Amino acid sequence: MGEFFARFLACLDQVILITPIELRSGNTGGRDHEHYGNSGRNTFVLLLSYSQIINKNFQVELLADKVQQTKCSKQDF
């Protein structure tokens, strides 16, 4: 008899993009960085594994990972 393991993770977060001061238009001295973009992003992760001990010197394990990341519009928040 083997061992099966499953795990699901969901991260729903807000990303704020901050452009380095050298690349900002107008070079405002570090102010007004809120105009450089923000967006929501959803990340979903599915982890699956199956492990089987064959004998004292040999074990087999199968792993599968699925990651999906989507961008949300501002209306979603």
Number of domains in the chain: 1
Q: Give the contacts of 77 (CB within 8 A, at least 6 positions apart).
A: 14, 40
pLDDT of residue 71: 81
Give the integer Cα–Cα distance in Å for 7 and 2: 17
pLDDT of residue 76: 47
Contact criterion met (CB below 8 Å) for 72 and 42: yes
Question: Can you give the pTM of this predicted structure?
Answer: 0.61
pLDDT tens, N- to C-terminus, the chain (77 residues): 899 999 999 999 887 777 777 777 765 555 555 455 677 889 999 999 999 999 999 999 999 999 999 887 655 44
Give the integer Cα–Cα distance in Å for 66 and 43: 11
pLDDT of residue 13: 87
Residue 14 amino acid letter: Q
pLDDT of residue 27: 54
Find the domain containing 50 and state its range.
3-76
Residue 7 amino acid letter: R
Give the integer Cα–Cα distance in Å for 2 and 10: 27
Partner residues linked to 47 by β-bridges:
7, 65
